[in-house]
Amino acid sequence: MQLFRQLFASLLSSFRDLVPIFVVIAFFQIAVLQQPIPNIGSLLFGSLLVLLGLSLFIEGLNLGLFPLGESMAWNFSRKGSLTWLLLFAFSLGFGTTVAEPALIKIAEEAAQVAAAGGMIDDHAQSMDDYAQGLRYTVALSVGFAIVLGVLRIVKGWPVQYLIIGGYIGVVIMTAFAPKEIIGIAYDSGGVTTSTVTVPLVTALGVGLASSIKGRNPMTDGFGLIAFASLTPMIFVMGYGMLL
């Protein structure tokens, strides 16, 4: 019963959050474009599915995976073994990225565009391979990013030099990467850091910064997500060069 009440509350808050988007779209359709919307039934049904799916997804995470992940992030940051901590950091970054809903969709979309543009063969198998390859490249890079970020917190390196260095890396890679991959690579940085990754990774960072002496959760705890949106750009451009 408690569960249903929570689910309903989450549904309501998802709905309230989606209202601004609906208002913008409705305003443009009615006031600016003044054109009828085709398939309005399926659009509304799809929106309903998005709403319901997102609420179930987030409530499910809150119920099971998030408390587990957060308590583990705390436990690992207190355990004191750097090897296990780094291994856990990598697995957490990799695993959450593979489950990231937005990335699943964008990889599929990118495969379709790449097939239409003649970059890969235009059949289902090669499109699937391309989408999977893209996702696992991004997952690998996020795992690497979280390891780097955890090392930064442990060693107390200042975040901005690493970020600036990373973006210089992005600029250098851009000069060598094929033109078709650059847009996708830049976007994949933003796509990865989403519903699943952000809460778990932030828990790891803040837990770590508050359990190490001399680290302040406010200045040292954040910054992991920034690495996680930087390294995919470099790795995906590398993926494009290999292909």
Site residues for other proteins, window 41-100 (CB under 8 A)? 42-65, 68-69, 72, 75-76, 79, 84, 88, 91-92, 94-96, 98-99
Given a contact cutoff of 8 angstroms between Cβ atoms, the answer to whether 173 and 234 are in contact is yes
The three-state (H, E, C) secondary structure of 32-75, written as one string: HHCCCCCCHHHHHHHHHHHHHHHHHHHHHHHHHHHHHHHHHHHH
Residue whose CB is less far from other proteins, 153 or 242? 153
Q: Shortest Cβ distance from residue 71 to other proteins (Å)?
A: 8
Residue whose CB is less far from other proteins, 35 or 123? 35
Residue whose CB is less far from other proteins, 233 or 242? 233
**Member of 86, 101, 151, 211 binding other proteins (CB under 8 A):** 101
Q: Shortest Cβ distance from residue 4 to other proteins (Å)?
A: 12
Please report, as residue ranges, which positions from 9 to 48 form the binding site for other proteins (by CB under 8 A). Answer: 14, 17-18, 20-21, 23-25, 27-29, 32-33, 35, 37-39, 42-48
Q: Shortest Cβ distance from residue 213 to other proteins (Å)?
A: 19
Given a contact cutoff of 8 angstroms between Cβ atoms, the answer to whether 149 and 227 are in contact is yes
Give the whole-angstrom CA distance, residue 14 versus residue 19: 9
Please report, as residue ranges, which positions from 215 to 234 form the binding site for other proteins (by CB under 8 A). Answer: 218-226, 228-229, 233
Give the whole-angstrom CA distance, residue 210 versus residue 66: 19
Give the whole-angstrom CA distance, residue 138 versus residue 143: 9
- Which string of x and - marks every residue 164-203 that binds other proteins (by CB under 8 A)? ---------------xx-xxx-xx-xxxxxxxx-xx--x-
Please report, as residue ranges, which positions from 129 to 168 form the binding site for other proteins (by CB under 8 A). Answer: 159-160, 163
Please report, as residue ranges, which positions from 107 to 126 form the binding site for other proteins (by CB under 8 A). Answer: 109-110, 113-114, 116-117, 119
For 129-166, letters b (16+ CB in 10 Å) and e give ebbebbbebbbbbbbbbbbbbbebbbeeeebeebeeeb
Given a contact cutoff of 8 angstroms between Cβ atoms, the answer to whether 55 and 78 are in contact is no
Q: Shortest Cβ distance from residue 231 to other proteins (Å)?
A: 11
Residue whose CB is less far from other proteins, 151 or 226? 226
Fill in the amino acid letter for 25: I
Give the whole-angstrom CA distance, residue 177 versus residue 164: 20
Site size toward other proteins (CB under 8 A) is 102
